[in-house]
Amino acid sequence: MANTTITQESRAVPAIRIENLSKSFQTAGGTVTALRDINLTIQKGDIYGIIGLSGAGKSTLVRCMNLLERPTEGTVYFDGRDLNALEPKELRRARWQIGMIFQQFNLLEQRTALQNVLFALEITGQEKDAAKKRALELLEIVGLSDRADSYPAQLSGGQKQRVAIARALANNPSVILCDEATSALDPKTTRQILDLLKELNKKFGITIIVITHEMAVVEEICTNVAIIDNSRIAETGTVEQIFNNPQTDIARRMIYPEGDFNGKVGQRAIRIVFDGASSYEPVFADMILECKALVNIMFADMKNLNGTAIGQMIIQLPEDDSTAEHVIGFLRARGLIVEELSNV
């Protein structure tokens, strides 16, 4: 598989740009609007997450990106080309450059792993011997060269998804759309599939768009993220920006594993973000000694975002306002991000 070099000149044209996109469906009960006024730019070589709760419009959005669903309004640009303006033959060729993998794998049960990958090459008219050589190469890339003759029923969930990834790679796509691609997998297999996608992005420069409802998937693999809520884009930014300083209620719900703590803490509370080196410093112990303050830890965790250790902690502040302000001042003086949560 050829390595894709993304030059500064080519990067100037986004992989996918969406302008003022809306999508409505007609039902027996009337018009249902799945997407409203979506604007999004995804750069070449990025791993871009689109996250939201069930029913937010994520899957509709990803299907609009390759025009499997045609937008009611707005424009989708792929590598600078307006997909809506393409003739059917041109659109078909453009779609070959956009691979797609799904939650339920969508493999043909009566075909072997090799034949499933070959299918994507057959429909583009590739010569038989060259297609078989290519399919075997792809199975080797995804670590399944020894299962080429196995049928889907003989494969685990992770192996099925690897076959689906190989099939998505068949026509040398520049973009891969992943629609809840790990939702049906166990945590260990999920990590293996995400590691494979990161490797493909790094090795071949493929732009990967990850549709998910799981913040842990975004934190594990993505560099940038858009949060979709009630059919609209609520917030966008780098994963670090969204994690460190969420601006919307839906972003906070995604980041806090226990949900939005606003209005649920019983007294003043703060969220502390430990970024980089501070994650390994005894800041909390120093704060207790310096401020002579006892606090209640409501939640704490640590994660790795793009190679940087980042932790978060939610604590109840002392009831005494002067002591509480001393705590906040101490933490901010140590360079930590401190967000005060709403009181009840």
Q: What is the model's pLDDT at position 69?
A: 92
Structural domain of 320: 268-341
CA dihedral of residues 325, 330, 332, 333 (deg, nearest 10): 140
Closest residue by Cα to residue 306 from 182, 192, 220: 220
Do both 91 and 213 map to the same domain? yes
Q: Tell me which of 251, 284, 302 is where a domain ends.
A: 251
Give the C-alpha separation, 39 to 233, whole Å.
8
Instruction: Give the DSSP letter of residue 266.
Output: S
Is the residue at 51 inside a domain?
yes
What pLDDT, on the 0 to 100 scale, is given for residue 5? 53
Of 96-100, 222-226, 229-233, 289-293, which gets the smallest average pLDDT?
289-293
Give the position of tokens 């190469």: 137
Residues 183 and 47 in one domain: yes
Cα 337 to Cα 326: distance, rounded to the nearest angstrom: 15
Reported as a pLDDT band with limits 50, 70 and 90, residue 263 is very low
Which pLDDT tens digit goes with each residue over 185-212? 888 888 899 999 999 999 999 999 999 9
137 three-state secondary structure: helix
Are residues 241 and 308 both part of a single domain?
A: no
Task: Give me the sheet containing 269-275, strands edge to edge.
Answer: 296-305, 308-316, 269-275, 337-341
More confident residue, 31 or 9: 31
pTM: 0.85
Collapsing DSSP states into helix, strand and coil, what is residue 42? strand
What is the 8-class DSSP label of residue 14?
-
Asked whether the predicted pLDDT for residue 279 surpasses 70, the reply is: no
The pLDDT value given to residue 272: 87
Q: Which of 38, 63, 74, 105 is nearest to 211 (CA)?
A: 63
